[in-house]
Amino acid sequence: MQVIVNISLKEGVLDPQGRATARSLGDLGFAEVDDVRVGKRIVLEINETDPARINQRVARMCETLLSNTVIEEYEIEIPDGQ
């Protein structure tokens, strides 16, 4: 089963990559962009069918390795139709 983990910086954490991207977009003529936050998207193939178990195991993966929970937050997504 496919699982998507979206990781982003917590509110209030400085995002220099997002700031640089916003500035570059403005320089390229996209003046409507006020702010950019850059994150990560991780796609996992999990050999499990129970959504509760998947959520529990993937949360453990995020807490252990995939995200830095001091400055990042994560969201686990199990796409519909699986």
Q: Where are the domains of the chain?
A: 2-77
- In the predicted model, what is the mean pLDDT of residues 11-31? 97
Q: How many angstroms separate the CA atoms of 59 and 53, rounded? A: 10
Per-residue pLDDT band at 81 (split at 50, 70, 90): low
Residue 72 near residue 3 (C-beta atoms within 8 A)? no
| Amino acid, res. 8 | S
Confidence at residue 80, expressed as pLDDT on a 0 to 100 scale: 79
Which residue shows structure tokens 């453990």? 60
Q: Thinking of the domain 2-77, which architecture would CATH place it in?
A: 2-Layer Sandwich (3.30)
Inform me whether the pLDDT recorded for 63 exceeds 90. yes
Q: How many angstroms separate the CA atoms of 5 and 74, rounded? A: 7
Inform me whether the pLDDT recorded for 82 exceeds 90. no
**What does the pLDDT look like over 29-62, one tens digit per residue?**
999 999 999 999 999 999 999 999 999 999 999 9
